[in-house]
Amino acid sequence: MKSNPITALYDLFGKLVIEHGSAVIQEKHIALLKEQFALLEKENTNLKAKIQILEAENQDIKQKNGILIKKIQTYEQSSHAILLDTGEVDILLFLAKQERSEIEPEHIAQSLNTNLQIIHFHLEDLQMKRLVEARPIAPFDHSPRRFWSLAQEGRRYLIKHKLIS
């Protein structure tokens, strides 16, 4: 059976339109994909640059951290090797002998027969060395008045130097 030439032509024309339409759509898809690929490449380049910056910062932080760890270790070793002056040792011994764990500076000054300003100076110095501890006299008290007590490191100092047994 022969097909009608008009029908055959119509079928060919239909195929041409469909294929041409598919090609146009396909070109649009390819163009869209190329555009998205370009954006992803740009983003990838930016992320690689950020990674390099963060890695450099991380290295710097690691280096600084190492230095700080060494300083802390040196400080901790030296804090046990330090020799305190007589006034500071007297304060540590006084605090160690107290039944109460919280003493006012005025009581220390009176008991050691020392000027209150000197006691405050030594207490602050001992606190920086972590040998004594201070806390406010009353909760939520914002005044500079403090109770003082012997810290574990202060007790360790006295024992190590055979000042108490």
Mean pLDDT of the chain: 84
pLDDT for the residue numbered 16: 65
Q: Mind giving me the DSSP string for 56-75?
A: HHHHHHHHHHHHHHHHHHHH
Instruction: Check residues 4 and 38 and name the one with the higher pLDDT.
Output: 38
| CA count, 13 A, side-chain hemisphere, 71 | 6
Model-level pTM? 0.51
3-state secondary structure of 150: strand
Q: Which of 160, 101, 162 has its CA nearest to residue 132?
A: 101
3-state helix vs strand vs coil in the chain, percent to 5: 70, 5, 20
Beta-sheet pairing, 146-150 with 132-136: antiparallel
At residue 3, does pLDDT exceed 80?
no
Alpha-carbon span 130 to 74, nearest angstrom: 15
Alpha-carbon span 156 to 80, nearest angstrom: 8
Task: Kindly give the residue spans of alpha helices, DSSP state H, lying in 82-160.
Answer: 86-97, 105-112, 116-128, 152-160
At residue 2, does pLDDT exceed 70?
no
pLDDT in tens, 36-61: 888 889 999 999 999 999 999 999 99
